[in-house]
Structure 1
Amino acid sequence: MKKYTILTILIVTLFSSVAWSQSFYNFNRQRDIILSFGTGTSAYFGDLNDPGDIFDTRWNINLGLEYFLNDRISVRGELMYFSLAGDDESSNTEGRVRRNLSFTSDNGELNFVGIFNFRRNGRRFYQRPGVNGYVFGGLGLAYFQPKAIVPDVYVDDFGNSTPLPNAGEKIALKPLMTEGVDYNRVSLVIPFGGGVRFKAGPFFNIALEAGYRITFTDYLDDVSTTFRDQSIFGNDLTARALADRRPEIGLPRLAPGKRRGDSSDNDGYMIYNIKVEYYLPTHIMSTSKFKKNRRRSKRPRSQ
């Protein structure tokens, strides 16, 4: 997290330099589009985490543009890169420890949300409240790529070990079809949550935000249904080894049809962020002139 803290400080410093260079003329003009940069942590919820675990040390980074429709409602588009992980080894449940599955995943998300601010902004952007809470909700698309580290050997049902040529490598799990399912790595997501903004000067806000993502997949972690017969993997010993990892800790392989995951509930994830928000100058991007012309066109003509 240290390098992301340094990056955030550099971004703030750069934005501050730009802000001080703005003329009084531009200061007096309305700004209604915010550029935001954020970083924080990501938490995964699925078959490879314990109930009640709501924080994680995985990271995320995001960039967004927000447009104010009026003094309380805005819309935002955001790109995010984030990491998720889960493993049975650190579980408090014995059954999960004996299952011995794990994954890590670096992911991307594009989302569009509507935002409702609790307090109204002033007539000008620099007259906004010093503190303002908000809630948001919308739609997005997430791309995920669960991976796992290949063990040193494959152990067959008779206890014989065969060294694996890609031992120690982190590889994608989806092509292996560990449960015999060719799932899609792109999922529709529903982001929702809330946050609070702190005015940090005429052009800047600091925002703290938390948002959950409902997904439409149970394969963020490559775990969902049951163990399959090892014969479906043919001669692919790597797929055989990663489909059932119990032999790595000295336990027998489970029979086909035994529960591997819970398919009754889709996976999800939580995003926690601190963001720097900057009101873009009107000569870069603004709709204030359009709004002004639109208001004039609605005025009744004098007789």
Structure 2
Amino acid sequence: MKRRTLQVSLYALLLMIFSTNTVSAQIGLSTANSRFEIGLNVGPMNFLGDLGGNRGKGTIGPKDNNVPMTNMIGGISASYYPSEWLGFRGAFNLGQMEGDDRLIKQKQPADTWEGSRKFRNLTFRSPLYEAYVGIELYPTAFISLKNGSGLPRFRPYGIIGVGGINFKPQGLYRDAAGNESWVDLKPLRLEGQGMAETGVPEYSTFTYVIPMGVGIKYDITERITFGIELIHRKTGSDYIDDVSTKYIDPALFDQYLSPAQATQAKYLANPSSFYPGIPGYTPYRIGKKRGNPDKNDSYFSSTFRLTWKIGDVYADWFRNKNSMKCPQYF
């Protein structure tokens, strides 16, 4: 009886071990096929909005970019690759955005586009908190696999996604003594946000963002990959720099704000106290255009990425690890 019990116990133990190994093999296979990747990225970033810019009429493209206003953006990401040509990414980034009318290169008369923007004299800065999910597409990998070729170390790709950002615009305030300090702009309602007389609604400091761009990856080792990426972001807000519509009557600040805030608002809404050739005169009067509400703000970045594959590495993922050539189809 004891011997039969022992045999049953051994059988049960072997069955358990076999089942465990089978499950482990299945889990290992699943992990291998999952191809998870985590990464770090850092690089320069530029804001494109109503403030700053270059000669001529303001735009939202790279043409209106002020190099001195370049800041850094950095963050982390996690990706999942169901195949070599397709990936899904989640990312979180931190950065800083800035704009300054004083940096506009103006050689034409003051009544031209760049002249009127330069002497508008508005400044802003804002922290950036960004999160998004995106799809990565590797066309050359798809063609190579279809053609039966191995994957080279260099792989170009495109990315598009959707996400959200949080911002907090500040303006450079100068008091009567000439001291400068950064002041939060949203509470000052510089364009009459939330005021019955203007009908302008208050804006949210959270908005959607649509990142889209291109990049290229290079496999340093079986697990570590280096890449360069250029991404442009369209946003759903024209108030990242707190500038969008028209100048309002400064007397409204006294009605809606405290005396201290009203003093700050009157300066920050229209810091241009002069116009070339006419001291003490400013063309930026009530009802005049302060920004362009027809175009939302945007920003772009050029980042360096370092990623690391976690879990088991798929057998075919790095089978051409000694290849230094570029993709056959670029």
Q: Mark yes or no: TM-score above 0.5.
A: yes
Question: Given the alignment, which residue of 293, 297, 303 partners 1:273?
Answer: 303
Q: Does 1:259 align with 2:289?
A: yes
CA contact under 8 A between 2:129 and 2:166: conserved in structure 1? yes
* TM-score after normalising by structure 1: 0.75
Equivalent runs, 1:33-182 vs 2, <5 Å: 33-50=36-53, 51=59, 52-54=63-65, 56-92=69-105, 93-120=114-141, 128-153=151-176, 167-181=179-193, 182=202
Deviations 1:76-133 (A, max 9, x none): 000000111111101122111210001111110000001101232899xxx7421000
Question: Unaligned regions of 5+ residues in structure 2, if any?
Answer: 1-27, 54-58, 106-113, 194-201, 315-330
Write the distance in 2 (CA, Å) between the matches of 1:144 and 1:128: 41
Which secondary structure does the structure 2 equivalent of 1:69 belong to?
Answer: strand
AA partner of residue 218 (structure 1): D
- Match in the other structure for 1:295: none
Write the distance in 1 (CA, Å) between the matches of 2:292 and 2:280: 21
CA contact under 8 A between 2:52 and 2:102: conserved in structure 1? no
Q: How many residues align?
A: 245
Write the distance in 2 (CA, Å) between the matches of 1:277 and 1:190: 23
Write the distance in 2 (CA, Å) between the matches of 1:49 and 1:130: 41
Write the distance in 2 (CA, Å) between the matches of 1:241 and 1:112: 40
Equivalent runs, 1:179-218 vs 2, <5 Å: 179-181=191-193, 182-218=202-238
Per-residue deviation at 1:30?
5.5
Which segment drifts farther, 174-183 or 59-68? 174-183
Which segment drifts farther, 30-39 or 69-78? 30-39
% identical aligned pairs:
24
- Match in the other structure for 1:158: none
Write the distance in 1 (CA, Å) between the matches of 2:204 and 2:46: 21
| Aligned-residue CA RMSD (Å) | 2.5
Q: Does 1:32 align with 2:35?
A: yes
Highest CA radius of gyration, 1 or 2?
2
- Match in the other structure for 1:237: 263
Question: Unaligned regions of 5+ residues in structure 1, if any?
Answer: 1-24, 154-162, 289-303
Flag the 1:248–1:173 CA change in 2: closer, same or farther, 3 A. Answer: farther
CA contact under 8 A between 1:31 and 1:279: conserved in structure 2? no
